[in-house]
Amino acid sequence: MTFDMDAFSFSTKTTRIRHERWIKKLKGKKPGPTVVFFGAVHGNEPAGVLALQEVLDGLLQKEVDLNGDVFGIVGNLPALKIGERFLEEDLNRLWTIPRIEQIKQKPNLSVEEKELLELLNILEKIIKEAEGPLYFIDLHTTSSATYPFITINDALINRKFAIKYPVPMVLGIEEHLTGPMLSYLNEVGYVSIGFEAGQHSDPKSIACAIAFIQLTLIFSGILEITYESEYMKAYQFLKQKAGSMHKVFEIAHLHKIGKENQFKMMAGFISFQSIKKGELLAVQNGTQITAPFSGRIFMPLYQQKGNDGFFIIYSIPTWILGLSALLRNWKVDQLLTFLPGVSWEDKAKLVMRVDLRTARFLAKPFFHLLGYRVRVKEGGYLRVSNRERASKDNLYRKTNWW
């Protein structure tokens, strides 16, 4: 299984995309982990599908022995067929438990709701039948130019696995977006990682996705270490593409776009570009939108569909990450409910309710340290949710990356 990354290029206009739900199902001869890849959860992002076709077809043709199972799945099949992000609503914003339960009861479903139910049935079957650790990988591209990067919900199982890749890692996206598929999968305890390979129209995005898939198969244990040469080639390729941006970042701000808003990003911004407070970023309904503070711009919107105009991020020092892991491993959050104004919302102790009138000293960054993300602010209260308590750590403790 070898790919010449430097010479590799694809044109989506000439390369045939197989418009089928299953890109490939590969069952290993030996027991091991299960890795589930998704491509085209947004239909205008075919790079992940093309990369999966290339890698998984190559494994099958060369009859490579696998430890465990690998699945490649198309997310939004109808949208992929016409090259649109979505047809009626964003499939990657529907994955909340209340919305899923609502969809199950609806007599008439949207295109994306039908896609969700089909994917949910597939996922439930895979999870039920898996014998080892499970990994869910969602492959995307962006409308702006960008370094390749990883996004994760900030759980330690995600951090520990994602840190192995030589690309930027961005934390906290679940605090700003409602209903991504990976957030749903992480909430039920599994390693779930999003990879943004590059710009939609850049052929190198496919090469980046191929390298990421190869590394995932090796890091997860699907492929033996005998594939070290392929590992080094893929690792160095992504490292070179990431350049000096191989750091960990936190999302500090999202500019949301309402359904009726006319939004236009100023030309030329790329993800991870430094910006200054007051810098003109976009125009919305004739009003100039400037940066509320200095940082780095992230995923500026250069397409018609989408409600997320741009994010602003900042880098996190290594010592903060270490302190955060230490506090979480010590389960310091259990002590918070002894403080005035802080209580568990449910018996599962996954959501904490904070009365800001009596616990105003508990700022958002403190909750981030302990693995909590602010999901709802209601009047003088915060509802913060924790990924660590849901994580199925026991599935991963014997892995070589733990």
Is the pLDDT score of 5 beyond 80? Answer: no
pLDDT tens digit sequence for 319-345: 999 999 999 999 998 898 898 889 998
**What burial class does residue 397 get, using C-beta atoms within 10 Å of its C-beta: 0-12 exposed, 13-18 middle, 19+ buried?**
exposed
Average of per-residue pLDDT values in the chain: 91
User: Quick count: other Cβ atoms within 10 Å of Cβ 144?
Assistant: 22
pLDDT tens digit sequence for 256-303: 998 888 999 999 999 999 999 999 999 999 999 999 999 999 999 999
257 shares its domain with 221: no
242 shares its domain with 254: no
What is the number of domains present in the chain? 3
**Nearest in space to 135 (alpha carbons), one of 115, 164, 112:** 164
CATH classification at residue 101: 3.40.630.10
Residue 385, CA distances (Å) to 101, 350, 376 in order: 20, 6, 9
pLDDT of residue 222: 95
pLDDT of residue 2: 45
**Prediction pTM value:** 0.92
Q: pLDDT-based confidence at 230, cuts 50/70/90?
A: confident
Q: pLDDT-based confidence at 384, cuts 50/70/90?
A: confident
219 shares its domain with 109: yes
173 shares its domain with 226: yes
Residue, of 305 and 40, whose pLDDT is higher: 40
Domain that holds residue 261: 249-315
Query: Is 59 inside any structural domain?
Result: yes
User: Quick count: other Cβ atoms within 10 Å of Cβ 377?
Assistant: 13
152 shares its domain with 90: yes
| Secondary structure E strands in 105-168 | 134-142, 149-152
Query: Is 303 inside any structural domain?
Result: yes
67 shares its domain with 133: yes
Of the three residues 263, 288, 315, the one that is the final residue of a domain is 315
Measured between alpha carbons, how far is 397 from 400 in angstroms, rounded to an integer? 8
Measured between alpha carbons, how far is 390 from 377 in angstroms, rounded to an integer? 22
Region 106-114: what's the mean pLDDT? 96
309 shares its domain with 347: no
pLDDT of residue 228: 67
Is-contact 315 295, C-beta < 8 A? no
Q: Which residues contact 38 (CB under 8 A, 6 or more apart)?
A: 48, 73, 74, 75, 136, 137, 138, 139, 181
Dihedral sign of CA atoms 59, 125, 44, 146 in order:
negative
Query: Is 4 inside any structural domain?
Result: no
Query: Is 11 inside any structural domain?
Result: no
Query: Is 233 inside any structural domain?
Result: yes
Of the three residues 218, 246, 274, the one that is the final residue of a domain is 246
121 shares its domain with 235: yes
38 shares its domain with 117: yes
Q: pLDDT-based confidence at 226, cuts 50/70/90?
A: low
351 shares its domain with 217: no
270 shares its domain with 333: no
Measured between alpha carbons, how far is 154 from 132 in angstroms, rounded to an integer? 22
Query: Which of the residue ranges 5-19, 152-166, 168-182 would you say has the lowest mean pLDDT?
Result: 5-19
pLDDT tens digit sequence for 135-172: 999 999 999 999 999 999 999 999 999 999 999 999 98
Query: Is 126 inside any structural domain?
Result: yes
Of the three residues 246, 268, 297, the one that is the final residue of a domain is 246
pLDDT of residue 356: 81
Query: Is 391 inside any structural domain?
Result: no
28 shares its domain with 164: yes
| β 134-142/30-39 pair status | parallel
pLDDT of residue 251: 95
Is the pLDDT score of 11 beyond 80? Answer: no
Query: Is 6 inside any structural domain?
Result: no
pLDDT of residue 6: 41
CA angle 208, 210, 212 (to 5 degrees): 70
CATH classification at residue 257: 2.40.50.100
